[in-house]
Chain A
Amino acid sequence: MSTQVQKVGENAFKAILGRINSLQKESGLTLPANYSAENAVRSAWLVLQETKDMSKRPVLEVCSKESIANALLKMVVMGLNPIKRQCSFIAYGGKLELQREYQGSIALAKRFGMKEVVANVVYEGDDFAIAIDVNGRTKVTKHIQSFESLGGNILGAYAVVTLDDDTVNTEVMTIEQIKASWNQGASKGNSPAHKNFPDQMAKKTVINRALKTIINSSDDGDLLEDKYSEISAVEEHVEYEIKENANKQEIGFEDEIDEVEENTVEELETKQEKEEEIETAGPGY
Chain B
Amino acid sequence: MKLKIIGTGSKGNAYLLENEEEALLIECGVNIKEIKKAIDFNVSKIVGCIVTHEHNDHAKSIKEVMSAGIDVYASYGTHGTCKTLNKSRTNIILEGYPRMIGNFNVLAFKINHDASEPLGFLINHRETGNVLFLTDTFYSNYTFKGLNNIIIEANYSKEIIKEKLSEKEFLKDRIFQSHMSIDTCLEFLNANDLSKVNNIVLIHLSDGNSNEVQFKEAVENQTGKSVYVASNGMEIEFNKTPF
| A residues at B contact (CB < 8 Å) | 183-184, 188, 232, 234-235, 238, 241-242, 245-254, 256-257, 259-260, 263-264, 266, 270, 273, 277, 281-282, 284-285
Please state if A281 and B142 are interface contacts (CB–CB under 8 Å). no
Please state if B142 and A285 are interface contacts (CB–CB under 8 Å). no
Please state if A246 and B130 are interface contacts (CB–CB under 8 Å). no
Please name all residues of chain A whose beta carbon is closer than 8 Å to the beta carbon of B143 when the two chains form the complex. Answer: 247-251
Given the complex of chains A and B, what is the CA–CA distance between A238 and B169 in angstroms?
A: 14
Contacting B196 at CB < 8 Å: which of A247, A249, A282? Answer: A282
Contacting B130 at CB < 8 Å: which of A247, A253, A260? Answer: A253
Tell me which of B142, B170, B188 has the highest count of chain A C-beta atoms within 10 A of its own C-beta. B142
Q: Shortest CB–CB separation between residue A252 and chain B, in angstroms? A: 3
Interface range, B side: 35 or more
Please state if A238 and B177 are interface contacts (CB–CB under 8 Å). yes
Please state if A246 and B122 are interface contacts (CB–CB under 8 Å). no
Please state if B130 and A252 are interface contacts (CB–CB under 8 Å). yes
Given the complex of chains A and B, what is the CA–CA distance between A235 and B166 in angstroms?
A: 13
Given the complex of chains A and B, what is the CA–CA distance between A242 and B138 in angstroms?
A: 8
Contacting B193 at CB < 8 Å: which of A245, A246, A270, A284? Answer: A284
Given the complex of chains A and B, what is the CA–CA distance between A34 and B139 in angstroms?
A: 50
Contacting A238 at CB < 8 Å: which of B122, B146, B176? Answer: B176
Please state if B184 and A260 are interface contacts (CB–CB under 8 Å). no
Q: Shortest CB–CB separation between residue A240 and chain B, in angstroms? A: 11
Please state if A248 and B146 are interface contacts (CB–CB under 8 Å). no
Please state if B141 and A253 are interface contacts (CB–CB under 8 Å). no
Report if B97 contacts A (CB, 8 A): yes
Closest to A248 in B: B141
Please state if B187 and A270 are interface contacts (CB–CB under 8 Å). no
Please state if A251 and B109 are interface contacts (CB–CB under 8 Å). yes
Digitize B4-45: 1 where CB-to-A-CB distance is under 8 Å, 0 elsewhere.
000000000000000000000000000000000000000000
Please state if A260 and B142 are interface contacts (CB–CB under 8 Å). no
Q: Shortest CB–CB separation between residue A177 and chain B, in angstroms? A: 13
Report if B173 contacts A (CB, 8 A): yes
Please name all residues of chain B whose beta carbon is closer than 8 Å to the beta carbon of A252 when the two chains form the complex. Answer: 107, 122, 130, 144-146
Q: How many A-B residue pairs have CB under 8 A?
A: 102
Question: 8 Å CB contacts to A: which residues of B127-160?
Answer: 129-130, 138-146, 148
The 7 tightest CB contacts between A and B, nearest first, are: A252-B145, A247-B191, A284-B146, A234-B173, A246-B139, A285-B146, A242-B139
Please state if B124 and A253 are interface contacts (CB–CB under 8 Å). yes
Given the complex of chains A and B, what is the CA–CA distance between A232 and B140 in angstroms?
A: 22
Please state if B107 and A256 are interface contacts (CB–CB under 8 Å). yes
Question: 8 Å CB contacts to A: which residues of B70-113?
Answer: 96-100, 103, 105, 107, 109
Can you give 7 contacting A-B residue pairs, CB < 8 Å? A184-B169, A188-B170, A234-B173, A245-B139, A251-B122, A251-B143, A285-B130
Q: Shortest CB–CB separation between residue A180 and chain B, in angstroms? A: 8
Please name all residues of chain B whose beta carbon is closer than 8 Å to the beta carbon of A264 when the two chains form the complex. Answer: 100
Report if B126 contacts A (CB, 8 A): yes
- Given A247-B143, A253-B124, 19 further pairs, Cβ under 8 A: A188-B170, A232-B172, A246-B141, A246-B188, A247-B187, A247-B188, A248-B141, A248-B142, A249-B141, A251-B96, A252-B107, A252-B145, A253-B107, A253-B130, A256-B96, A281-B129, A281-B146, A282-B196, A284-B145
Please name all residues of chain A whose beta carbon is closer than 8 Å to the beta carbon of B100 when the two chains form the complex. Answer: 260, 263-264, 266
Tell me which of B100, B103, B143, B145 has the highest count of chain A C-beta atoms within 10 A of its own C-beta. B145
Given the complex of chains A and B, what is the CA–CA distance between A277 and B240 in angstroms?
A: 11
Please name all residues of chain A whose beta carbon is closer than 8 Å to the beta carbon of B99 when the two chains form the complex. Answer: 260
Digitize B39-82: 1 where CB-to-A-CB distance is under 8 Å, 0 elsewhere.
00000000000000000000000000000000000000000000
Please state if A234 and B176 are interface contacts (CB–CB under 8 Å). yes
Please state if A260 and B188 are interface contacts (CB–CB under 8 Å). no
Given the complex of chains A and B, what is the CA–CA distance between A281 and B96 in angstroms?
A: 21
Given the complex of chains A and B, what is the CA–CA distance between A251 and B142 in angstroms?
A: 7
Please state if A246 and B140 are interface contacts (CB–CB under 8 Å). yes
Closest to B189 in A: A247
Please state if B173 and A235 are interface contacts (CB–CB under 8 Å). yes
Contacting A251 at CB < 8 Å: which of B103, B144, B184? Answer: B144
Please state if B129 and A241 are interface contacts (CB–CB under 8 Å). no
Given the complex of chains A and B, what is the CA–CA distance between A120 and B122 in angstroms?
A: 60
Please name all residues of chain A whose beta carbon is closer than 8 Å to the beta carbon of B141 when the two chains form the complex. Answer: 245-249
Tell me which of A253, A254, A260, A281 has the highest count of chain B C-beta atoms within 10 A of its own C-beta. A253
